[in-house]
Structure 1
Amino acid sequence: MSLNELRTLGRTGALISPLTLGTLNFGTGAAPTGPAESIRIIKAALDAGITSIDTADIYSQGEAETVVGQAIHSRRDDVFLATKFHGQMGSNPAHAGNSRRWIVRAVEDSLKRLNTDRIDLYQAHRPDYNTDLLETITTLNDLIRQGKILYYGTSVFSPAQLVEAQWIANTNHLTPPVVDQVPYSLLVRANERDVFPITQQYGVGVLSYGPLDGGWLAGGYRLGAGQPESSRFSALPGRFDVTAPFNQGKLHAADALAQLAARHGLTLIQLAVAFALNHPAVTSVIIGPRTEDHLTDYLKAADVVLSEAVLDEIDDIVAPAVNFLERDAGTVAPHLEYPELRRR
């Protein structure tokens, strides 16, 4: 496997690299990577053979899209460009969601920031439980006909929502979603149970994100090593607290996986990215470097092929289709997350 071995995105016929450059860390303000370094990373990724870039309007409130637009302007036709809508932009709560009213505004804003005349893949960043899915799909279908987007997809939709989206599109003679974006890693495997079989059944490509599970698989989470320093721990201490009882299973697994990687002459990052790339449902793995050195580490993983024996060892450490935390799924349905809905 290498970055030059492009993969077909679902049944679209579009070819993209096995690694996709994610831009969550790019922009200004709270983003860890400023505009100048972000542009250097983007150009280095393209020079190395990455052809797909994933961003979102909500990343640094549009700054990530602006940086991407600046970096790829002279190479636009060589880039498969994906962005997302749904998250709230600015202080107005009406500037969010998956309604027709918001999508037609959001796509124009993204096109301007990205400095392009079309978006290759436009994705619903999260389900919208207040908007009829038919309204969202019809709006996205209209954008395809207008030439503003070429394909559309979803992100962390439940299995039922994935099937519903296909049914609604086919029943109403509309273009169906062609991509689903989901978390997937050595420590986050629940999508193997039902999401991946559904995407394979309908020919939906998968862009998986979080191959390092927010840093759990970066190498610092080891037994007896103490709490690794990270911005994620400051923002979400519960999910990354090595002393929390509910994180002990994940900590032991991360340590065992690091030992496994070392036994086979790999870094834990290489093992983690290669594992995500190995699943036949996954078209491309989204990586999120904060520096050029991080990018180099990720690129090395694209050439790693895991044997059946190594995959069996991984299964012995983390059973297939298992998540350690409910939140690792990327989203929790409102009727499960909020007591006032769950107990109604």
Structure 2
Amino acid sequence: MVKFNASDLHVKVGSPPGYRIDSQIQPVANVDALAPQDTLALAQQLLTPEQFKELNDRGDLDWAHSVPGLARFRVNAMKQRGSISLFFRKIPVEAPDLDMLGVPAVCKELVLRTRGLVLVTGPAGAGKSTTMAAMIAHRNANERGHILTIEDPVEFIHQDVMSFVNQREVGSDTPSFPEALQRAFRQDPDVILVSELRDQRTISLALTGAEADHLVLSTLPTTGAVQTLDRLVEYFPRDQHQQIRLQLAETLAGVVSQVLVPRVGGGLVAAHEVLIGTDDVRESIRGGRTNQLPSLMRAGTAQGMVLLDESLARLTREGTIHLEDAWSRALERADPRAPGV
């Protein structure tokens, strides 16, 4: 997997293992299809007895696995049709630099703020964890303070640089995201990272933390700022929607949404959408008028805002991505040639 620079490894019964390279899954050459005992033996080799029991009880399990001197991997195991399948995602040993990732420059400013909610969003496999880890590394290299992460599992390992960094893993260090977040407010953090906003309670506590002068970073599996904010509100009963809109309007620092697109010549490149919590943006959120946000982003380039479709159009004009790949990922498709072209 490391040798072929694959991002993921799929292991399942009935097929040879498969590497995901440049978004395509390719079976490993000259390897026979796996039998149930093969994947079972691999799971038993990687898991402690307690973890294996949890896998059997729950049906799936997430954890991080390290191979010293080689790499770290985020691993998921699941039961399916009476057998076990495993999925490995390669994690770089060190968090990448924001400039190397090509993320918008405003991300550096967002992660140095003293308070507010910063959301990094995108579909599965879009590199959200990598972007957020790079933002934490930038904060750690430039600001003194306390960074507290709550992850499932812990992926990138952050050493203390200018900040003290504590990393808690759900399952081994704390029973749940809500429990860890509730305790976090007594642990004097300047920055709280929550690897994903998965439920109503976690979202509510994250908003409370952002209101209480903490910088809170998290992810959602949504594409685009409008969908992200609407999804957050929809987690709650209708009679709480206005309260959540008010909290979001008060706390939102920014939304950075990204998708990965095949690069011409091989590899992947990220296209981004950025929404910054300006006064006009806050007013639109407060009034439930998220349909106005694209216009505000289009007019907000001086504040670092950009629409995903504009980012795709720029990459297309530069010859970095193919027209059809841009078109398939555009949020608005009024022009059949390409977004914004």
TM-score bracket for the superposition, by shorter chain length = 0.3 to 0.5
Highest relative contact order (Cα 8 Å, sep 6+), 1 or 2? Answer: 1
Larger Rg: 2
| TM-score of the superposed pair, with normalisation by structure 1 | 0.33
Q: Higher strand proportion, which one?
A: 2
Q: Higher helix proportion, which one?
A: 1
